[in-house]
Structure 1
């Protein structure tokens, strides 16, 4: 039985277990290919976000700076953290030395935590833009504040785990790290992990959920009943606007001199300011609905990717690794890393400005053929 236990011995890793059982050649190739694809998708996707931000000046708004910060964190996940873990999980042994192990742990915890804090920052920025639109627009050009918040995110993310990773063994005056392994010294400290998880996941998730619900309630209160309180024969501003848009944008009909004269007389007789104000409110409401939708998607993806890992990490620490199967736990932190590959897909899906920038970079010919799309 001791022999069987030796064969089934499980080695610990930074986020889970790397099995000492040898994979078959075919399975090793398949796993390496899948991990390589994840690295490629994460690096290329986030590099595209950063490149779009650098090339397209229209993206350099206060809110989009936080997307840039998130892309930088996710790029490090794909470019540094995952590649070093691949040989570890396939061979079951850390072969890069203790110094690089420490660096890898610090960077991995840092970028994953920074990714979470950036999502909170993005959610808060969207919350302020909807609920306090006037004050938000007044600060729109103040990129210095945005950069300061970005720096604070990285400092806070480092302080949460970095000092503990670097100094834990010296404070405890012993190490629990066997030769050929690489994981944090607090791997089984339930109290520390519970406090850190509250800061890293539970508090951020509750916060972004609150921001999302507040935006939804705000939009619900502002949503008008269409054509409500219109006088007989009065045309709805949105209908009028859409009719003009169809006339000039879709069909590109150039009005005759008689039509232009008729339009001038009509505009001089009708009160344009209320209609213009109503139309502006509708445009802002439509924008805020898109903001709420994009934020809801980001929050849901964040919760699905992070909740399994966080819960299993706490349970595993409490029972000293005896009640959570290693394959389940390892799957949970690969799901966590998957979040870094998914985030760049959410930008073009949820934000028209990023979608246009990506099309300009990836399909420049389309931008030349249909320039009105990018106006």
Structure 2
């Protein structure tokens, strides 16, 4: 008996630790979003949606599965088994689709900055996308979980076990895995590669794909036009010089005092501001690219083993994959949900400040007082 207790204690500690990190990390993200209004930014709503799906994994899916994983027998009845399967497939699929949505949003913020900034005030767009994520996740597996045994006329699940009726159906698993893993992986990889290519092109040309809405100034309009065309910084400076030369008489007529700003000073200030803005935005986009690369790697590491083994297991009717190996890959999926709070929000300064406000308010107050200049 003592030997069995010892053997069970090791995996139990691992299960509880994974559940704790998944629960604590995602609760922290949700609380930060509720308490800090500065986080209620369009793209941050996608982090909230991801945290909700991963939170459901830690608070519902893991606790019900731990006794089943330790004993090998499902003791909670067929009805609760159906509910657990429904929730597990739903929230895991929603987590994956939220990762794709976050990656797509970052892709737009880097490569389509002008149109992305123009839509910042529109809250309907992220809400529609968030709802669409859950609808798509529900349609992927839930109808099969609920209706498979009625469509086939019999149940394939043994007594005391809890798994989906399509567990050994190779064709369904291949199609579902393509939509749940392979398509999202290819999409996120494409977004990541596009961001890296965009950054390298901007570094090579010395330009940035960004400008504010052009005003009445011919200088700002010329800058916006050349930026959208992808011109280099030297071309833009030459263009400004020509504009300033052509507008020199009118500027001279408006200069009624010796302290008035000269055309050369206007050009120099505009160029300096443009360079500083370019460097700042380029550095921000580099951070986005690095964090997105980590996302791709972690997502692939956590999901690829389970997806491949599930397809292989379905093809050989469960006879060619060891149950322990399959169990390891299954928990690897849930580890991804526990890691997501640390891969996404913790990489952002606003979330870091919000977490410090919740966990260490005195330390945050001390940092702010140190940053405040003395009178």
Q: Which bin holds the TM-score, normalised by the shorter protein? A: 0.7 to 0.9
2:218 is matched with none
In the alignment, structure 1 residue 171 sits paired with structure 2 residue 151: yes
Residues 31-73 of structure 1 deviation map (CA, whole Å, 9 limit, x = unaligned): 2222112111110110000111111111111111111111000
2:169 is matched with 189
1:308 is matched with 305
Q: Using a 3 Å threshold, how does the CA distance of structure 1 residues 206 and 372 change in structure 2: closer, same or farther?
A: farther
Q: 1:104 deviation in Å? A: 0.2
Q: 1:127 deviation in Å? A: 0.5
1:115 is matched with 95
In the alignment, structure 1 residue 58 sits paired with structure 2 residue 13: no
- 3-state DSSP of counterpart to 1:140: coil
Aligned-residue CA RMSD (Å): 2.3
Structure 2 Cα separation of the partners of residues 348 and 72 of structure 1: 13
Structure 1 Cα separation of the partners of residues 151 and 54 of structure 2: 31
2:142 is matched with 162
Q: Using a 3 Å threshold, how does the CA distance of structure 1 residues 284 and 97 change in structure 2: closer, same or farther?
A: same
Contact 1:123-1:211 within 8 A present in 2 as well: yes
Query: Which structure 1 residue ranges, 5 or more long, are not aligned?
Result: 1-21, 231-263
Structure 2 Cα separation of the partners of residues 334 and 28 of structure 1: 16
Q: 1:347 deviation in Å? A: 2.8
In the alignment, structure 1 residue 220 sits paired with structure 2 residue 232: no
2:327 is matched with 330
Q: Using a 3 Å threshold, how does the CA distance of structure 1 residues 270 and 198 change in structure 2: closer, same or farther?
A: closer
In the alignment, structure 1 residue 345 sits paired with structure 2 residue 342: yes
Structure 2 Cα separation of the partners of residues 36 and 215 of structure 1: 38
Q: Using a 3 Å threshold, how does the CA distance of structure 1 residues 23 and 342 change in structure 2: closer, same or farther?
A: farther
Q: Using a 3 Å threshold, how does the CA distance of structure 1 residues 229 and 209 change in structure 2: closer, same or farther?
A: closer
- State the TM-score, normalizing by the size of structure 2: 0.81
> 1:116-131 counterparts in 2 under 5 A?
116-131=96-111
Structure 2 Cα separation of the partners of residues 207 and 360 of structure 1: 35
- 3-state DSSP of counterpart to 2:156: coil
Q: 1:82 deviation in Å? A: 0.6
Q: 1:348 deviation in Å? A: 4.6
Residues 242-294 of structure 1 deviation map (CA, whole Å, 9 limit, x = unaligned): xxxxxxxxxxxxxxxxxxxxxx99x9687211110111111111111111111
2:178 is matched with 198
Contact 1:356-1:374 within 8 A present in 2 as well: no
2:66 is matched with 86
Structure 1 Cα separation of the partners of residues 273 and 8 of structure 2: 64
- 3-state DSSP of counterpart to 1:198: helix
Residues 215-246 of structure 1 deviation map (CA, whole Å, 9 limit, x = unaligned): 000000111589x999xxxxxxxxxxxxxxxx
- 3-state DSSP of counterpart to 2:138: helix
Structure 1 Cα separation of the partners of residues 92 and 298 of structure 2: 15
Residues 126-176 of structure 1 deviation map (CA, whole Å, 9 limit, x = unaligned): 001111000000111212210110010000001000000000000000111
Contact 2:29-2:345 within 8 A present in 1 as well: no
Between the two proteins, the alignment pairs up a number of residues equal to 319
Higher mean displacement: 161-170 or 322-331: 322-331
Q: 1:344 deviation in Å? A: 0.9
Which of these residues, 44, 64, 68, is aligned with residue 48 of structure 2?
A: 68
Structure 2 Cα separation of the partners of residues 64 and 33 of structure 1: 33
Q: 1:27 deviation in Å? A: 1.6
2:316 is matched with 319
Structure 1 Cα separation of the partners of residues 273 and 316 of structure 2: 64
Residues 191-217 of structure 1 deviation map (CA, whole Å, 9 limit, x = unaligned): 000000000000000000000000000
Q: Using a 3 Å threshold, how does the CA distance of structure 1 residues 170 and 269 change in structure 2: closer, same or farther?
A: closer
- 3-state DSSP of counterpart to 2:155: coil
1:281 is matched with 278
> 1:5-44 counterparts in 2 under 5 A?
24-44=4-24
